[in-house]
Amino acid sequence: MARLSVAKAEHLGRTLPLEVKSGLREFVLERKAVDDPQRAGPFEEDRLKDERRYQKALEQAFADLYRAVQRELRSTSNKDLFGGKAALTQDALEIVNNQQFWDKQAADFQSQMNDVVQMLLLRAAVDQPTRMGLAVDIDLVNQRVLELAGQYSNSWWRQLEGTTRDSLRTAIQSYIPTGKPIKDLVKNIEPLFGKRRAEMIAATEVTRLYAEGNRAGYAASGVEEVEWVTARDALVCDLCGPLDGKKWPLGQEEYVPPRHPRCRCTPAPVTDSKIAQELIAKIRRGGK
């Protein structure tokens, strides 16, 4: 029993590192690579609920960030002498370069997202593998979930901060020569903190959290191999379609979902568990 736990712990170590590579930068692009939201993996109902939870938390965090950005913009631009009518100057760019400001936002943002991140990772690491008939080593996985949550929050925020700062810089630079007032800029950047961005990020990030949580759960159940599972319907994109059914040793996967914004693919365990096999077969039958 003790030997098994050591083996699992070593195995778990191989599922590192978690890296947020995609899913944010592309948010302005139109939906072209889309997996069907109604074919949302083996735990479809949970997933759709979790997407809404994540989106709600993110919308709240975005709203606060938007307010902070507005305050900061106004404080650096002509002191807002004319009720928001003051034209932007180069000073407005200070918000992009002010690391102290962004560090403060990072802390606020991450603490607002923390609960939902941990909840989703736990669901994916403990609840889902258990429902697949796997025997998860709970002690092992709980520790791993905490590590993953920390890694995820940092890595994800850095991406989000980078994209947000880049977009702000572009917006401000294009506004300065026009002589338009701050309130026009504020309106123009609203989508950056808006519902549509939150919705898209939620769909992509639930896939990431589920995939990373699942992998930790599989590792803590002695699963050694994973298989890429798509919805296998006409909507599966060019990136994910060819990956369907590909198998890799856990921790040495060529890809881990998400492959693209709104990807809803899932890493399935290669296991003797009949329940898991049936769940996967069901996805491939189109949910029937």
Minimum CB–partner distance for residue 209 and Zn ion (Å): 15
**Dist. CA 26–CA 33, nearest whole Å:** 11
Stretch that binds Zn ion, among 31-39, 62-70, 77-85, 166-174 (CB under 5 A): 31-39
Closest approach, Cβ 60 to Zn ion, in A, equals: 27
Strand duo 266-269 + 247-249: pairing: unpaired
Nearer to Zn ion, 35 or 205 (CB): 35
Phi, psi of 232 (to 5 degrees): 55, 40
Least distance between Zn ion and beta carbon 204 (Å): 10
- Choose among 272, 273, 220, 274: nearest CA to 250: 220
Q: How far is the CB of 284 from Zn ion (least distance, A)?
A: 14
Q: Which stretch binds Zn ion (CB under 5 A): 10-18, 55-63, 78-86, 251-259?
A: 251-259
Count CB neighbours of 264 within 10 A. 27
Instruction: Name the minimum Å distance from CB 265 to Zn ion.
Output: 3
CA distances from 163 to 24, 60, 197, 199, 221 (A): 7, 18, 12, 16, 37
- Residues in region 64-83 near Zn ion by CB under 5 A: none
HEC states along 156-173?
HHHHHHHHHHHHHHHHHH
- Residue 8 vs 47, nearer CB to Zn ion: 47
Report 100-129 residues binding Zn ion (CB under 5 A): none
Give the one residue of 202, 263, 280, 283 binding Zn ion; rule: CB under 5 A.
263
Does residue number 265 form part of the binding site for Zn ion (CB under 5 A)?
yes
> Contact, 173 vs 185, CB < 8 A?
no
Looking at residue 33, its amino acid is A
Distance in Å, CB of 62 to Zn ion, minimum: 25
Amino acid making up residue 34: V
From 27-35, 42-50, 108-116, 141-149, span contacting Zn ion (CB under 5 A) = 27-35
- Residue from 157, 149, 95 nearest 122 by CA: 149
How many residues contact Zn ion, by CB under 5 A?
5
Closer residue to Zn ion, CB minimum distance, 8 or 259: 259
Instruction: For Zn ion, give the closer residue by CB, 35 or 253.
Output: 35
Q: Nearest 5 degrees, angle CA 229-CA 230-CA 234?
A: 155
Q: Rule CB under 5 A: is residue 240 a binding residue for Zn ion? A: yes
Binding footprint of Zn ion on the chain (CB under 5 A)? 35, 240, 259, 263, 265
